[in-house]
Structure 1
């Protein structure tokens, strides 16, 4: 720590006490508000105006990223308006590559944050919480107050929201009794019965003679448990279990068991997956998000699997005044399933690429996806088939857009040649990390 760059902030202390602390530590006293990550720390609820520097910082970060950058983080502040503004920025950058104008999102942000195995993009909604502040201000310096403290109007919505999650996380935190000084008899998870309040449902503290705020240490006197007479079978079971426990001089400890088994480390990913709403897994995630794929090709394929790209049939449904005929073959109405690969133009391209990768392909979109899911061996042929399938989607969509917006027309052999070049370059990139796989891919592709 740099003493010259560090200040100390006091609350509730007398001037003499503050002077003694400053003298002994060498730190100068600071005053609120002070900025941290561009946001002022103060004693009052922050407004959107207070968070303007943070929003601007996020905007500047987006502007420095390339169009291929991945949004892998999200800053969170304790109020909804700032969250909504940050979500809007992330959405604009993801779908437009810039922050001006409307986002025009093809997939809702809630869907984007769903894992890839469940049909989303796998971006996470990160929540950054100042644990030390929460412990001191919301829990009054005692972590076990988390189980008994009530919501307060002065708390932020996030602080109160965490209190509402007590039932969800109760079973994840198992307590090993030591001296019993920090474990509440009624609310802490110290016994195999879970919450004693729930276990003895209907029996009030007045009926049992045990106060709501009593700790285990307060029920232990001179090496023995001192409990009121049991008045129910549940109370008998609790007393029987307590008879197997003796308090010691060791501090109480916590065991972290979020998935029913002891864990030595906290995993944000595991807790995120436990807290979020689970969706049914999709069968096509490994075909879209396979290893060694090309990121922009995978992203576009994901959009087409969800049928979220602006094909002409969807534009007509939106009320757009557009010619619905496929611009590649000029013989049928354009839709996702027609473009890939009922269209005679696109079929010539895809059939050639599939044959070169050793994949016997059907022509219908759903059937192709099903066959790719079944196409497991050999590994290098499967990888070539997936690379070719996604490259065909990408290049054919680019050809369609080029004809529609720039009047640029190419014949199928030119598109096939472009796909061959893309796959050869991808194999060359794979050679850097896995030369053996690259060699097999290169031989198979040119055989």
Structure 2
């Protein structure tokens, strides 16, 4: 299959556009015709289709096969990326599907918080909850009350404030106490106010930043889970018990990660974090 049906790119979800990726993959065939005259398939293309014509200015006849017309369509899409048969983003003539995809896709404004959510160190369900939070898609009581579904908008956990995103995760006494416990474990102060700004300006190596972001995502996930337990099962675990679960989850995640590119400083930091209770 040369082309697939396009899929809508979810804003900041980290998914590739499958249609453009497919076109970029077809671009590999376009580049082969440019750069690999001794390739058997390219020889066959030259004998059957090109017949001595230059590839750069070639247009397929109307009665040519469907797959050949699609290859030629991609050639025209990528035409501006070639300069005298050389791929413009490369020092040499080498074409890669990734580079082709980057050339074809429309580059919108960068979502500043995307890298805080989608890190290799975050457990996927934690990242997904964080993604919903940043899109204001969680059904908090404030939102349900405005829709007429909830009788009030009071925080279920502390019963002291409006249950919206900011209150539930960063102002509720339950969540702030849990952040304090997690802060003492990681030995980094995680401020409950302006946490997004703090995360965007966080100091330390990229690995340390990813781990701390994974910890924050895990904390948000468990706060939301406890909120739902309070609402639907009328029970709430202690902050220490939930914090302990968060620490064990992150430790388990760290033990399963490959550290082939980690420096000695990062390795020592992770070892200390894993041993610390």
Structure 1 counterpart of 2:185: 356
SS of the residue corresponding to residue 9 of structure 2 reads helix
- Match of residue 105, structure 2, among 276, 296, 302: 276
Aligned residue for 1:141?
Answer: 49
Which residue of the partner structure matches residue 78 of structure 2?
Answer: 169
**8 A contact 1:312–1:335 mirrored in 2:** yes
8 Å Cα contact 2:202/2:209 also seen in 1: yes
2:123 equivalent in structure 1: 294
Partner of 2:249: helix, strand, or coil?
Answer: helix
TM-score (norm 2): 0.71
In the alignment, the residues of structure 1 paired with residue 242 and residue 191 of structure 2 have an alpha-carbon distance, to the nearest angstrom, of: 20
Shift of 1:392: 0.6
State the partner residue of 1:330.
159
Counterpart CA distance in 2 for 1:440 and 1:164 is: 48
CA distance in 2, matches of 1:406, 1:76: 48
1:321 aligns with 2:214: no
* Displacement after TM superposition at 1:295 (Å): 3.1
Is the CA contact 2:87–2:94 (under 8 Å) kept in the aligned structure 1? no
Matches within 5 A, 1:82-121: 83=5, 87=7, 109-112=8-11, 119-121=12-14
User: Within 2, Cα distance between the matches of 1:283 and 1:159?
Assistant: 40
Match of 2:36 in 1: none
Q: Using the TM superposition, give the Cα deviation of residue 154 of structure 1 relative to its aligned residue in structure 2, in angstroms.
A: 9.6
Which string of whole-angstrom CA distances, capped at 9 and with x for unpartnered residues, describes residues 357-392 of structure 1? Answer: 23333323xx21211222213777645532321121
Instruction: Specify the alignment match of 1:45 in structure 2.
Output: none
Aligned to 1:345: 174
Q: Secondary structure at the match of 2:13?
A: coil
**In the alignment, which residue of structure 2 is the partner of 1:419?**
246
2:225 aligned with 1:398: yes
SS state at 1:111 partner: coil
Q: What do the CA deviations read for 1:329-379 (whole angstroms, capped 9, x no partner)?
A: 122222111112111111111122123323333323xx2121122221377
1:441 paired with 2:270, answer yes
Matching residue of 1:95:
none
CA distance in 1, matches of 2:238, 2:49: 72
With over 3 angstroms needed to count, the CA separation of the structure-2 counterparts of 1:444 and 1:390, relative to structure 1, is same
Aligned to 2:88: 258
Are the structure 2 counterparts of residues 362 and 308 from structure 1 closer, same or farther at C-alpha, using a change threshold of 3 Å?
Answer: same
Q: Cα deviation per residue 1:400-438 (whole Å; 9 max; x = unaligned)? A: 222233434222222112112223323333487669645
Residues 194-215 of structure 1: CA deviation (Å, up to 9, x unaligned): xxxxxxxxxxxxxxxxxxxxxx
| 1:430/1:263 CA distance change after superposition, 3 Å | same
Normalised to the residue count of structure 1, the TM-score between the two structures is: 0.47
Identify, as 1 or 2, the structure richer in helix.
Answer: 2
Shift of 1:281: 1.8
Q: 1:110 to 1:442 in 2, by over 3 A?
A: same
| Map of 1:303 onto structure 2 | 132
Greater RCO structure (CA 8 Å; 6+ sep):
2
Q: Deviations over 1:74-130 (max 9, x none)?
A: x844xxxxx27xx5xxxxxxxxxxxxxxxxxxxxx4225xxxxxx331334132659
CA–CA distance in structure 1, aligned partners of residues 78 and 97 of structure 2 = 14
Distance 1:425 1:295 in 2: 14
The alignment covers a number of residue pairs equal to 253
